[in-house]
Structure 1
Amino acid sequence: MTNISDITPLRDAAPLAGTGVRVAAELHANLTAPALVAHALRQGDGRLSADGALMVRTGVHTGRSVGDKFVADEPETSDEVWWGKVNQKLPREKYQVLKGRVQAYLQGRELFTQDLYAGADPAHRIKVRLVSPSAWHALFARNMFIRPAPAELENFEPDYVILHAPFFEADPAIDGVKSSSAIVLSFAEKTIIIAGTQYAGEIKKSIFTVMNWILPSQGLLSMHCSANIGPEGDSALFFGLSGTGKTTLSSDPTRRLIGDDEHGWGPEGVFNFEGGCYAKVIDLSQKSEPEIWAASHRFGTVLENVVADERGNIDLTDRSLTENTRACYPVEYIPNVELSGRGAVPKNVVMLTADAFGVLPPISRLTPAQAMYHYLSGYTARVAGTEKGLGAEPEATFSTCYGSPFLPRHPQVYGKLLQKLINEYGANCWLVNTGWTGGAYGVGKRMSIGHTRALLRAALAGELDHVEYRTDPFFGLSIPVAVPGVPSEVLDPREAWADKAAYDNAAKALVGRFIANFASFAEHVDDDVKAAAIKAA
């Protein structure tokens, strides 16, 4: 462990350039993980687990504050922003007031800065500077993003600045926001304000929103997906919302991980935006997910809202603080990783859903038009226990492009880019259900991860290219009739139900939900996508 007395913080103002903060009581620039852990313990913001991970709590905010996210309404960018519930308008003058108040709050405090990259492709990366009074948040950012070589830190000039003030309370009457928390992005000034929330995921997702803003203007697709590389150098993408298995399924010992959450796709292939992973760890199994489990038990990892006993032995089944427990660690903590963060043009595109109604097949092959439809739909289902306020019945969730909270532009921008890339490069597309089988949540059981891995490996290896398929009568999906190692009743979701009439009713109900959701964007898609849409029989 590094001793505090051994740490010599930088005292010149260069690490604060571009932040609008000119004075710091103590300025710690680009400290490494051991020093940041030492400072976090000194600040009383965490403790070490028995294995050395830094355990922190995020207070009342154990997830993103969706209703507190704003985009500054600026004439330079206003016409291109997808305004609405996702991107709430904050008048420019109110943004300036809030920015000034946060800068004044940070002025003269002990501060930690980190200079980092977002984007593994040098041609499409941005330089990010975080300034925060919290050492553990600086460690989170250092784990999460790409760490420049020491020589690259000389004369580092940020493209975007994050003003991070987790204990500053915004005032709706003064700042024009809704609560004491505020996450505000200014694309014109290239500044992000995060105030009033300790949840570190806001740092990660704010930069993801920035990349979603920048890349489409360069003709590249930005994606909320994981990615890995097979033994033959073939890349695969895994789209999916939280809880669908995106991180778990891409961390496959037979394939090299590129990244677990955010990527870009262009003519040169796929590239990770990040240099770390932010894995959900509730109920994490050492047997089923050994790589992520091991990474969660290492020094340098940040554990958010994970509970441990007095000796620091963590309990990954304890959800007393939140269902949304997380581990943030550098990507190199995963043993089978592609350290360049880059891969070839994807050969397979996998869309993951956790269907809690238990009616979707475990795997189906999609046409390009169907892939576009399911990409714009972004379906999964939430169940009681995963989020506060949910009842006993599953709740269908549709998040367009598998990431609507992070899309600053209209979804059709991203959808058309994906369709163009799939058609141009001939990627195989799959819909994989990691949810329930044999009945809905509470009656059926969760799909076996062993079966899901077997199906995915067969698909990615090309073993499903020439097998017999049948068409599902409810969803119009092409389902393989037989796959080695997977029981036939698992492949046919209706056969897995004891009550076939109950299955039919549940399937018809989900079809209706798809139809209602599609109506919101049908006018923006081409005729082939409309023809591929799920329709009532």
Structure 2
Amino acid sequence: MEQPLLDEVRDAIAQLAARPNVFTLSADEIGARAIGFGTPTAFGNTNWVSTVKNRSAALTVHLGSPSVRSGEPTSKKRDIRKHASDTIRTLHRYIERAPLMRVDCRVGDNPDFAPECTLYLSNYRRETARLAHKVLQTFFPSRSADGPRLTVVFVPEWQEKDRQILVFPEIGVTYVLGTDYYGEAKNAFLRMAMWRAKQQNMLGLHAGTKIIRATGPDGGSRRLGMLLFGMAASGKTTHICSDHGLHQPGEGVEIAQDEVVFWRPDGAALGSERGFYIKTEGLNAESHPLLYQAAASPNAILDNVMVDYLGNVYFEDRTLTANGRAIIQREDLGDLASSSIDLPPLSQLDGLIVAFMVRKYTVVPIASKLTPEQAAVAFLLSESIDSGGAESREIGGNPLLVGEPAEAANAFYELVKSHSGKIGCYMLNTGGVGEIVELGLDGARKVQRRVTRVEIAEMSAVIRGIARDTIRWHEDADWMVETPLHVEGLDATRFDLNKHYDQSKIDALIAQTRLERTQQIESIPGLDPRIKAAVEF
């Protein structure tokens, strides 16, 4: 994008605060206005329903210098870029007249990196005040209304046919047009914060974090950090918000973050949010007691969840969407919430567990110990099955990546290598093994034999064993990794591939997985050769 147009965007944003059509309200006033358009629930909280119920990734374009531009393989993204200048100028004329609510907040809660943020939300549709309310429940109160900041201009009423998200990372501005989905506001701030962190020699990660206190084999206490990666529906949030049965004296967990952190060279992971934006599909008191308790709190905000005329909540109902959400507050995690949203430097911990959660259904082991090179491959692939059953991948499980994937992967690899004595890396498959699938002519998956699923308690046993250092590992007969021979509290024989397939089928499925991984890695230019060499693990 030409610099004069970036200057136009910067100038338009600089003038917004003083415009007569811009107004502010207190957090209480915004909340009261928003609640008037919501549905009260039997939990004592409120549910809102948006017209758009998913993020518009296919309509999100990064604009600026070549270092921030994302590949635009689709004709729609190319079209958005082609007409960006006209769109921007039309928008600038519109926001001189539309009623704009200004909301200030802050990403993070530490003295080193906590970018100030401003949302300019068009209030043309008054019910969209809920978006401002949700921003204030997700991020921290602003410390200053002046100075450098990340800015989002959000215009839900923009024509549907022209829906798009224009991201200007280098000047800290995002325009969200034609959607009323809250995730776009949240993601806009986090995406720009990750870019800014990169300029300050940090690595923005789409990962949850917590402290684990565990008893080692020698009876000594171990205080570990955990970085947990995973795409939606992989189990990341479930296992971040779990104590894994660590119930011996002195054991426990301290939950810090669920989604985005900024990883410093000293191993510290700085948090970003005070509220967690969790998926509610399948949420129940039996399998997800802590998350259910937090989502059922009066402090929670529900988003696109089914609520009946009596206020009863049905998290399992997918009539409106499979992407029901809730913003839960860390305080409702009770004693399991950490005192800080930040993980300390590695010098203050006994170690760091870096785990990549995937959800695969055939031959991927339920747990694998990875080398730093293999971990960098896992960071790039983030393999999973989406909620519709289709294969899906995102770089580092990160839908907010700005810039070249190889640059992020190489930085991740170097950071892990620099602390290799204190960082252990793992791939954890929360799906299972044994599924047999045929693909129809339309590409649809037709399940011939159902997967032997990994239960939540079983994966908790694996994580507990990693934290206590009690798992007996061995070289896997089929994969070039170490896998568990024995895990306390888990019958590992349930997931023995030879119980589900003959050897020829195992070999074929592994070869297919390796081919898919290789094709994905080969499509990413600029990778460290040591990472590329590790792809066929």
> TM-score if structure 2 supplies the norm length?
0.83
Residue identity matched to 1:164:
F
Cα distance in 1 between the residues matched to 2:290 and 2:134:
19
Is 2:486 the partner of 1:482? yes
Match of 1:27 in 2: 23
The match for 1:512 among 491, 515, 518 is 515
Which amino acid in the other structure matches residue 363 of structure 1?
A: A
For 1:11, the equivalent position in structure 2 comes to none
Q: What displacement does 1:270 show?
A: 0.8
Cα distance, 1:361 vs structure 2: 1.0
Q: Which residue of 2 aligns with 1:70?
A: 61
The verdict on how the C-alpha distance between 1:291 and 1:158 changes in structure 2, with shifts beyond 3 A counting, is farther
Secondary structure of the equivalent of 1:406?
coil
Distance 1:165 1:259 in 2: 29
Contact 2:473 2:484 survives alignment (8 Å): yes
- Which whole-Å CA distance do the structure 2 matches of 1:108 and 1:300 have between them? 35
Q: CA RMSD in A?
A: 2.7
Output the CA distance in 1 between the equivalents of 2:259 and 2:502. Answer: 38
Instruction: Map 1:70-149; keep pairs closer than 5 Å.
Output: 70-73=61-64, 77-85=65-73, 95=84, 97-107=86-96, 111-132=100-121, 133=123, 134-148=128-142
User: Is residue 2:157 matched to residue 1:186?
Assistant: no
Q: Which amino acid is 2:409 matched to? A: G
* Equivalent position amino acid for 2:110 in 1: D
Q: 1:408 aligns with which of 390, 399, 402?
A: 402
Which residue matches 1:49? 41
Q: How much has 1:376 moved relative to structure 2?
A: 1.6
Aligned letter for 1:265? W
Q: Give the corresponding residue for 2:327.
A: 328
CA distance in 2, matches of 1:53, 1:24: 34
Q: What is the deviation of 1:301?
A: 2.3
Amino acid at match of 1:264: F
CA deviation profile, 1:219-260 (whole Å, cap 9, x unmatched): 111101111111254211001111101111111233111100
Residues 498, 520 of structure 1: alpha-carbon distance in 2 compared, 3 angstrom cutoff = closer
| Structure 2 counterpart of 1:376, from 370, 373, 380 | 380
Q: Paired residue for 2:393?
A: 398
- Shift of the 411–498 alpha-carbon distance from structure 1 to 2, 3 Å rule, reads closer
CA distance, structure 2, for counterparts of residue 470 and residue 78 of structure 1: 43
**Aligned-partner SS, 2:117:** strand
Mark the CA change 1:89 to 1:491 in structure 2 (over 3 Å): closer, same or farther: same
CA contact under 8 A between 2:164 and 2:176: conserved in structure 1? Answer: yes
From the superposition, tell whether residues 23 and 220 of structure 1 become closer, same or farther in structure 2 (CA, over 3 Å): closer
Shift of the 81–480 alpha-carbon distance from structure 1 to 2, 3 Å rule, reads same
- For structure 1, which segment, 416-425 or 89-98, has the greater mean C-alpha deviation from structure 2 after superposition? 89-98
Query: CA–CA distance in 2 between the matches of 1:366 and 1:40?
Result: 47
- Paired with 1:500 and 1:313, the residues of 2 have a C-alpha distance of 50
Provide structure 1 residue ranges, at least 5 long, that are not aligned to the other structure.
Answer: 1-15, 171-178, 388-393
Cα displacement (A) at 1:22: 4.6
2:419 maps to what in 1? 425
1:3 corresponds to: none
Matches within 5 A, 1:66-465: 66-73=57-64, 77-85=65-73, 95=84, 97-107=86-96, 111-132=100-121, 133=123, 134-148=128-142, 152-153=143-144, 155-169=145-159, 179-231=161-213, 232-253=222-243, 254-268=252-266, 269-335=268-334, 336-345=336-345, 347-356=352-361, 358-382=362-386, 386-387=387-388, 394-403=389-398, 405-426=399-420, 427-440=423-436, 442=447, 443-464=450-471
| In structure 1, C-alpha distance between the alignment counterparts of 2:414 and 2:79, rounded to whole Å | 34
Q: Aligned partners of 1:290 and 1:100: how far apart in 2?
A: 50
**Cα displacement string for residues 437-487 of structure 1 (whole angstroms, at most 9, x for unaligned residues):** 3325741232111000110111123223xx3412242x3121021111111
- The amino acid across from 1:435 in the alignment is G
Of 271-280 and 211-220, deviating more is 211-220
CA distance in 1, matches of 2:82, 2:313: 46
Residues of 1 paired with 2:455 and 2:333: CA distance? 23
Give the equivalent residue in structure 2 for 1:9: none
On the 8 A contact 1:102/1:168 being kept in 2, the answer is no
How far, CA to CA, are the matches of 1:533 and 1:226 in structure 2? 25
> How many residues are aligned here?
484
The two structures have a TM-score, normalised by structure 1, of 0.83
Quote how far apart the aligned CAs of 1:52 are: 2.2
- In the alignment, which residue of structure 2 is the partner of 1:174? none
Give me the whole-angstrom Cα distance separating, in 2, the residues matched to 1:289 and 1:479: 27
Is residue 464 of structure 2 the alignment partner of residue 469 of structure 1? no
Q: Please state how far the C-alpha of 1:501 moved relative to its aligned partner.
A: 4.8
CA distance in 2, matches of 1:238, 1:188: 28
Give the structure 1 partner of residue 249 of structure 2: none
Residue 500 of structure 1 and its aligned partner are, at CA, apart by 5.5
- 1:21–1:107 CA contact under 8 A, matched in 2: no
Three-state SS of the structure 1 residue aligned to 2:486 is: coil
Deviations 1:321-340 (A, max 9, x none): 11111111333332222242
**C-alpha separation in 1, matches of 2:288 and 2:73:** 36
Unpaired stretches in structure 2, ≥5 consecutive residues = 1-11, 214-221, 244-251, 347-351, 438-446
Letter in 1 for 2:493: E
Q: Residues 448 and 26 from structure 1, CA distance in 2 versus in 1: closer, same or farther, beyond 3 angstroms? A: same
CA separation of 1:26/1:488 partners in 2, compared to 1, >3 Å: closer, same or farther? closer
Q: Decide whether aligned partners of structure 1 residues 507 and 126 sit closer, same or farther in structure 2, where only a CA change above 3 A counts.
A: same
